[in-house]
Amino acid sequence: MIGRLNHLAIAVPDLEAAAATYRGVLGAKVSEAVPQPDHGVTVIFVELPNTKIELLHPLGDNSPIAAFLQKNAAGGIHHICYEVDDILAARDTLKAEGKRVLGDGEPKIGAHGKPVLFLHPKDFNGALVELEQA
């Protein structure tokens, strides 16, 4: 069902400082900050040869990243994103297996402009999993 690793998301308390570290210290190609109001985050993508790192920073007081940073003030890994060929078929298979899809269960458009769903961490060894349609 799952395809390639699309990205690893890291919540950061200072988006520009994190971007500067990847850009300057590690020499990575780093995108501009892009607000994602539907998801309550601002994102910066770090391009790697085989995947991406997604730097996440809260956008608004109700951001899920704000709550994450309250518990993890220095930041940390927030989720891992895998590609799937058909997000609705993947959702239906997972639900039939008793796995929980977060939210209303309907895909939303993610930071790459493609449909995404999040899966409950308790069903995936403590890791929040994002699925993105390839």
Q: Whole-model pTM?
A: 0.93
- Structurally, the chain folds into a number of domains equal to 1
- Give average pLDDT by consecutive 10-residue segment, the chain, 134 residues: 96 97 96 94 96 96 91 97 98 98 96 95 97 97
pLDDT of 62 reads: 84
Q: Note if 132 is an active site residue.
A: no
pLDDT of 45 reads: 97
Q: For position 99, which CATH number holds?
A: 3.10.180.10
**Catalytic annotation, pick one of 16, 32, 54, 130:** 130
* Spatial contact of 6 and 82, defined as CB atoms under 8 Å apart: yes
pLDDT of 110 reads: 92
Domain range for 29 = 2-133
